[in-house]
């Protein structure tokens, strides 16, 4: 299983790097395409503007030449072009040309395509090669730069792309070199992105690798594993969550061991007693009489009660229990339960005060039987903790203020017993926990009552806790439940 997991981690790293490479490559290709089109378009526009400016410069020079008494043929000859177009472009006798044209350096501008047409667009002079001159014999005058003499157009000048929009070798080489430079830059960017991405992804994969290894150890039952949480990002949060999960699993395992030990202890006492009595009766040590059978029956009843409470605890914890929720006056319910406890309390010399429950209406949405079970259990615990000449008090209080839409009802059960130490106030709601060190059932019960009570309160979206009795010695159990307006 371990190599397969390693392959999965490596595969994830490869997928991340490959995804990054693919995105960078696609973006680079798109950038090359856009840049290539943009450069080509702008270069052609710039070339066209340059050719038109040169054609205008030549046209201005020709107009100046004609104004000095020269002819178009003489001007063409001075420019080094003729009717045949077989002569290469060269610098002719420029003495009579415009100083601007003389200083422009025609040869350096590569004007191998220069044409002069008449007013009908027929090419009369040009510097094109033979093949080009055969294919281009007529041009549109409106696309050229006019040469005017005595306010009349006598010819039109065409230069470079004005004659043929196809780029020459030099221009094509420039565009190819530009495209190559962009491509090299894109490949370099791809390389840098892959190297940087590999480093970053490795920084991500290392914690995941540790998490994978730790998970495998936890799966083997090794719950001492803890991951470093020095990171302040999402991976650090995952590490902290993993550590919390391991801690919870460890606590759960410890709780399982404790509950098994507690359950064995709870069952051992009545079972051992039943077994010993039966063996003695079989051996004739104890006579088969009603007193012995009664003792056996009491211990069997304790076992049945314990099993019932365990089943009930499982039901409320798992949420499989069905609640019959109705509008219930908690004050009336407390009064009726307190009345049922009065005879037992009087016999023990305990006073039960429930006057607070008569002062108003305290409506809640609850299951009456489960709420009765809860209150009965808490009052019985208070009776067990109380001595004679003491008082158990039931108090009901509406905690919502004026204009407060959220209403809370608090039920407080106060006794004047020994109280509950601060360190045990959370533990008392755990299964099988008793305050008595000897863990005697006669004084401490089964240890499941408060655990069941806590779950019943949770099912009613409430909370339960214990405090010191503010009126003196003893404890105060507080139940807070949502009220009804």
Stretch 1-12: mean pLDDT, rounded?
Answer: 52
In a domain, 34, yes or no: yes
Residue 305, in any domain of the structure: yes
Query: pLDDT category, 439, cuts 50, 70, 90?
Result: very low
Which residue among 271, 300, 317 closes a domain? Answer: 317
> For 126-142, what is each residue's pLDDT tens digit?
777 655 666 667 888 88
Range 51-64 average pLDDT:
88
Band of the pLDDT at 215, cuts 50, 70, 90?
confident
**Nearest partner of 429 among 385, 374, 468, 368, judged by Cα:** 374
Same domain? 62 vs 163: yes
Residue 115 has pLDDT above 80, yes or no: yes
Query: Residue 344: which CATH number?
Result: 3.30.565.10
**Which of 34, 81, 35 lies closest to 62, judged by CA?**
81
**What is the per-residue DSSP string for 432-482?**
T--S-TT--HHHH--S-HHHHHHHHHHHTT-EEEEEE-TTSSSEEEEEEEE
Residues 39, 156, single domain; the answer is yes
Residue 228 is assigned to a structural domain of this protein = no
Q: Residues 367, 465: one domain?
A: yes
Residue 12 inside a domain? The answer is yes
Whether the pLDDT of residue 393 is over 90: the answer is yes
What pLDDT is attached to residue 95? 39
Identify whether residues 367 and 312 lie together within a single domain.
Answer: no
The CA distance from 94 to 78, in Å, is 6
Quick one: how far is CA 242 from the chain centroid? 16
The answer to whether the beta carbons of residues 70 and 96 sit under 8 Å apart is yes
Q: Does residue 86 register a pLDDT over 60?
A: no
pLDDT, residue 133, reads 60
pLDDT score, position 225:
81
Do 39 and 96 lie in one domain? The reply is: yes
Higher pLDDT: 102 or 77? It is 77
| SS3 of residue 250 by DSSP | helix
CA distance 87 to 72: 18
User: For residue 341, what pLDDT band results from cuts at 50, 70 and 90?
Assistant: very high
- Predicted confidence at residue 365, as pLDDT, reads 92
Question: Which residues does residue 482 pair with via DSSP β-bridges, in sequence order?
Answer: 408
Residue 422 has pLDDT above 60, yes or no: yes
pLDDT tens digits for 270-328?
777 777 878 887 777 777 777 777 877 777 777 777 777 677 766 766 666 778 899 99
CATH number of residue 250's parent domain: 1.10.287
Asked if residue 116 and residue 29 are part of one domain, the reply reads yes
Mean pLDDT computed over 342-351? 91
d(CA 39, CA 33): 10
Helix (H, G, I), strand (E, B) or coil at 428: helix
Q: Which of 169, 192, 222 is the last residue of a domain?
A: 169
Please give the average per-residue pLDDT across 351-374, as a whole number: 89
Q: What is the pLDDT of residue 84?
A: 44
Residue 350 lies in domain:
323-482
**pLDDT value at residue 91:** 38
How many residues are given for the chain?
A: 485
Pair 161, 250 in one domain: no
The pLDDT-based confidence of 403 (bands split at 50, 70, 90) is: low
Are 127 and 63 contained in the same domain? Answer: yes
For residues 35 and 134, membership in a common domain is answered with yes
For 344-381, give the DSSP string.
HHHHHTEEEE-GGGGSS--EEEEEHHHHHHHHHHHHHH
pLDDT band at 379 (very low <50, low <70, confident <90, very high): very high
Torsion of CA 315, 321, 327, 328, to 10 degrees: -30
Residue 94: pLDDT over 80: no
Instruction: Tell whether 10 is covered by a domain.
Output: yes
The pLDDT score that the predictor gives to residue 6 is 52
What span, in angstroms and rounded, lies between the C-alpha atoms of 182 and 84?
Answer: 42
What is the rounded end-to-end Cα distance, in angstroms, of the chain?
A: 59
Render the burial of 419-450: b for 16+ CB within 10 Å, e for the rest: bbeeeeeeebbbbbbbbeeebebeebbbbbbb
Asked whether the beta carbons of 128 and 112 are under 8 A apart, the reply is: yes
Out of 115-119, 195-199, 330-334, pick the least confident: 195-199
Asked whether the beta carbons of 378 and 447 are under 8 A apart, the reply is no
Higher-pLDDT residue of 268 and 184 is 184
Structure tokens given for 59: 């046209």
Q: Are residues 7 and 151 in the same domain?
A: yes
Both 132 and 98 in a single domain?
Answer: yes
How many Cβ atoms from other residues are within 10 Å of residue 277's Cβ?
A: 17
Same structural domain for residues 343 and 438? yes
pLDDT of residue 411: 93
**DSSP tag of 108:** G
Please provide the average confidence, as pLDDT, over all residues in the chain: 78
pLDDT, position 481:
93
Q: Please state the rounded mean pLDDT for residues 11-21.
A: 71
Q: Which range has highest mean pLDDT (187-196, 350-359, 428-437)?
A: 350-359
Contact in structure between 147 and 158 (CB atoms under 8 Å): no
Mean pLDDT on 440-462 = 75
* Mean pLDDT confidence for 13-30: 75
Asked whether the predicted pLDDT for residue 367 surpasses 70, the reply is: yes
Question: What pLDDT, on a 0 to 100 scale, did the predictor assign at position 329?
Answer: 92
The reply to whether 182 falls in a domain is no
Strand partners, 234: none
Contact in structure between 324 and 292 (CB atoms under 8 Å):
no
- What is the percent of the chain with per-residue pLDDT over 90, rounded to a whole number? 14
SS3 171: helix
Number of domains in the chain: 3
Residue 73 is predicted with a pLDDT of 84
461 located within any domain? yes
Burial class (CB in 10 A: 0-12, 13-18, 19+), 155: buried
Would 469 be classed as within a structural domain? yes
d(CA 75, CA 94): 9
Contact 291, 298 (CB under 8 A): no
| Alpha helices (runs of H) in 103-222, residue ranges in sequence order | 130-135, 169-219
Token readout for 394 is: 């039931």
- Domain boundary (119, 152, 169) is at 169
For residue 316, count CB atoms less than 10 angstroms from its CB and return exposed for 0-12, middle for 13-18, buried for 19 or more. Answer: buried
Q: How is residue 89 annotated by DSSP?
A: P
């Amino acid at each position: 299983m371990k190599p397969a997991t390693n392959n999965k981690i490596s595969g994830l790293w490869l997928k991340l790097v490959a995804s990054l490479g693919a995105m960078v490559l696609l973006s680079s290709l798109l950038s090359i395409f856009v840049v290539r089109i943009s450069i080509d378009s702008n270069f052609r526009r710039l070339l066209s503007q340059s050719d038109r400016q040169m054609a205008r410069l030549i046209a201005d020079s020709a107009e100046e030449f004609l104004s000095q008494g020269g002819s178009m043929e003489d001007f063409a000859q001075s420019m080094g072009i003729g009717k045949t177009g077989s002569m290469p472009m060269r610098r002719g006798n420029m003495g009579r040309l415009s100083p601007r044209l003389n200083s422009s350096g025609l040869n350096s501008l590569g004007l191998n395509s220069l044409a002069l047409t008449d007013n009908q667009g027929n090419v009369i002079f040009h510097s094109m090669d033979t093949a080009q001159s055969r294919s281009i014999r007529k041009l549109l005058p409106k696309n050229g730069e006019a040469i005017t003499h005595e306010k009349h157009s006598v010819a039109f000048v065409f230069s470079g792309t004005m004659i043929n929009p196809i780029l020459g070798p030099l221009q094509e080489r420039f565009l190819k070199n530009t495209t190559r430079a962009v491509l090299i830059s894109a490949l370099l960017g791809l390389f840098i992105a892959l190297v940087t991405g590999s480093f970053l992804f490795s920084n991500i994969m290392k914690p995941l690798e540790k998490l994978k290894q730790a998970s495998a150890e936890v799966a083997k039952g090794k719950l001492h594993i803890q991951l470093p949480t020095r990171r302040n990002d999402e991976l650090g949060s995952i590490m902290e969550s993993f550590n919390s999960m391991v801690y919870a699993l460890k606590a759960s395992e410890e709780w399982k061991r404790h509950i098994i030990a507690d359950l064995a202890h709870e069952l051992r006492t009545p079972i051992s007693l039943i077994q010993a009595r039966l063996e003695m009766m079989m051996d004739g040590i104890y006579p088969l009489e009603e007193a012995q059978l009664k003792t056996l029956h009491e211990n069997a009843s304790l076992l049945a009660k314990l099993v019932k409470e365990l089943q009930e605890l499982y039901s409320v914890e798992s949420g499989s229990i069905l609640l019959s929720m109705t509008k219930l006056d908690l004050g009336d319910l407390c009064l009726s339960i307190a009345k049922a406890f009065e005879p037992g309390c009087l016999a023990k010399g305990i006073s039960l005060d429930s006057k607070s429950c008569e002062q108003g209406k305290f409506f809640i949405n609850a299951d009456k039987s489960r709420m009765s079970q809860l209150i009965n259990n808490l009052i019985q615990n208070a009776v067990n903790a109380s001595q004679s000449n003491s008082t158990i008090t039931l108090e009901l209080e509406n905690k919502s203020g004026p204009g407060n839409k959220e209403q809370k009802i608090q039920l407080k059960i106060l006794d004047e017993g020994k109280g509950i130490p601060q360190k045990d106030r959370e533990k008392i709601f755990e299964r099988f926990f008793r305050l008595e060190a000897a863990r005697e059932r006669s004084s401490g019960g089964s240890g499941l009552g408060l655990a069941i009570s806590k779950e019943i309160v949770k099912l009613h979206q409430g909370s339960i806790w214990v405090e010191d009795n503010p009126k003196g010695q003893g404890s105060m159990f507080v139940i807070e439940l949502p009220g009804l307006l």
